[in-house]
Amino acid sequence: MAKKLPWIFPGIRRPNFSLHQISIRMPTRIPRSVLYILIYAIVFYIFAGGAYDIVNSENLISIGSDGNSPIFIAPNQHAQYLIEGIVAGFVFSFAAASLYLFEHATKYAFDVNTAQKVELIATVLVIVWFVVILLLFNAKS
């Protein structure tokens, strides 16, 4: 039908293409990296206390100081400052990301040395983040 219509601009040629030649393919499945980013974003939101901040009507912001040091951790066991939740969220998210290294080590099934190195790094990181989480809990109580 487009070829039958007259071209009204003299000296300018009508483009010679058809919209039927343009094809946009939808991906057949969601990429694994997108799923990991989505899962880690949800983990960070939950571990940072996002649900707690929504349910709790008062958001505590640490402004005061105790002597010469600022207060970052709420003295009450059942309350948390905003910065405390964000720091805990980062610690827990890094711990979850280091657990991802165990899954990543399975990609080196035929290269045992590389798989063992990745698993060793993952083990060390999990232990480090576990100790940091214990220190956060001990500072809270």
pTM of this structure: 0.57
Higher local confidence (pLDDT), 8 or 137: 137
Q: CA 38: distance to chain centroid?
A: 6
Instruction: Yes or no: say if 76 and 52 are a contact pair by the CB < 8 Å rule.
Output: no
Q: Using the predicted structure, report yes or no on whether residue 1 has a pLDDT greater than 60.
A: no
132: enclosing H helix or E strand: helix 112-140
Mean pLDDT score, 116-137: 90
Residue 8 has which token pair?
């009204």
| Angle of CA points 73, 78, 84, to nearest 5° | 30
The pLDDT assigned to 60 comes to 61
pLDDT at 94: 84
Question: What is the tens place of the pLDDT at every residue in 28-83?
Answer: 888 888 888 898 888 888 878 877 777 776 656 665 555 656 566 666 666 677 77
Mean pLDDT, range 76-105, rounded to an integer: 80
Task: Give, rounded to a whole angstrom, the gap between the first and last alpha carbons of the chain.
Answer: 78
Q: Which position has the token pair 């946009």? A: 24
User: C-alpha angle with apex 26: 24 to 32, nearest 5 degrees?
Assistant: 140
pLDDT for res 53: 73
Whether residue 114 is predicted with pLDDT greater than 80 in this model: the reply is yes
- pLDDT above 60 (res 86): yes
The per-residue pLDDT for 73 is: 67
pLDDT of amino acid 7: 63
Largest CA distance in the chain: 86
